[in-house]
Structure formats: structure tokens, C-alpha cells
Amino acid sequence: MDKPVFLSVLAVLLASVNGQVVFPRQCPNHSFQTPFIPIQYSGRWYEISRYDTETQTEGDCTVSMYTMTSAIAFSVQYNMLVGPQPIQINGQSVVSFPDENPLRGMLSLSFGGPPTTSNYWILETDFVNFSVVWFCQNLNATHSSETAWVLSRQRTIPPAIQPIVDGVVNQHLVPALLRPTNQEVARCGN
């Protein structure tokens, strides 16, 4: 897939959540990371696993870099390999409800214009090792469309942290639907 087509598909995907995993239920009522501390969330996040999507089916070596642009906003650089082709997309993210105190881990993420829709919800993070992210949109009265990512500050989840991540995943997601992301140095490089 060439880069302009991939970018167009990704922008539409993030805006409308088409192509995600469809569930025969309404969106579950999950809690989100509270408090959310944006400065502690900034930095590099490696994708460990995800619900597969149309735009990421062949994607590996996925890494996102969150750089603070204000007290509640980030620039986001998203990199992945699709087959042998490196893809880089730049976007922005902002805390969805900045007047809440404490802040919740609900972000509006966009790769094609200003972020306007809350679509990146951090279920839990320790800010240092892992983040479990989810988004859900009701499609109708009986179905929802969901996506999820498990992220780490390094290429793997530290063994001591894995039981915590497994607990969050088991509580909120469908583990069997998470596709592992290849982060091996042989494939991804340094």
C-alpha cells in the first residue's frame, strides 16, 4: 500500500472507527486512567499488541513518540513497517476534557487536522512501563466497533509488569483478539 493511500485510510479510520473489531454489544462502561499526567505520558511507546485493523493488518515495528506541545497537548509521530515499507505519520493529540480535575486518560488523537473527537482512551498506565488503550463507538442499538492497543516503553513488557498488564487486558479487552506486534530488532532495526 502506498503512503498517500495508507494516510487517507488511517485518517478516515481514526475519525470514524471503520474497520475495527465489531462486537454484538453496546460499548462497555470502562473507567479510564485517573489521574492522567500528560508530561509523564510523553515519550516513546512501543506497540506490543493490538486489535487488528484494516490499516494495520501487515504493520509491525509500530512506535509512537508523544512530545508535549502544551500542558495538555502532544505532537505524535507514528512509525511502522508495512511489509518492507516504512510509514511515518505525524499527528496531534490533546486531553479531551481539560477542565476536569483530576484529568482522565481520555485523549483526542488526529492524523489529519485538529483533534476534535475523544478517541484514544487510556484504561490504565503506570507511565513508566505500560499503557493499555481502548476506543469504542456504538454502531447501533446492538453493536459496537472497538480497537485496542497494549503499549510499552520498551520492545517487550517487563516480566514483573506482565501480570498487571494481563489483569487489565483480561478485565477490559478480549485477549484472543489481540494481535502481537513484531518488535524484534532483526525486523525493526534499532
Structural contact between residues 18 and 8, judged by C-beta atoms closer than 8 angstroms: no
pLDDT for the residue numbered 10: 37
Domain spans of the chain, in order of start: 3-188
- Of 165, 167, 169, which Cα lies nearest the Cα of 177? 169
pLDDT at 55: 64
H or E element at residue 15: helix 3-16
pTM equals 0.87
Model pLDDT, residue 190: 75
CATH 2.40.128.20 for domain 3-188:
yes
**Sign (positive/negative) of CA torsion 116, 44, 158, 62?**
positive
The pLDDT assigned to 47 comes to 97
**SS3 label, residue 168:** helix
pLDDT for position 7: 37
C-alpha cell at 74: 502532544
What does the alpha-carbon distance between residue 13 and residue 40 come to, in Å, rounded to a whole number?
27
Which string of DSSP letters, residue by residue, matches 178-190?
EEEPP--HHHH--
The pLDDT of residue 20: 82
**How confident is the model at residue 143, as a pLDDT?**
95
Q: What is the largest CA-CA distance in the chain?
A: 46
Neighbours of 58 (CB within 10 A): 12
Query: How confident is the prediction along the chain (190 residues), in pLDDT tens digits per residue?
Result: 454 434 333 333 333 344 589 999 999 999 999 999 999 999 999 999 999 876 667 789 999 999 999 999 999 999 999 888 999 999 999 999 999 999 999 999 998 877 778 889 999 999 999 999 999 999 999 999 999 999 999 999 999 999 999 999 999 999 999 999 999 999 998 7
Residue 170 has a CB neighbour count (10 Å cut-off) of 10
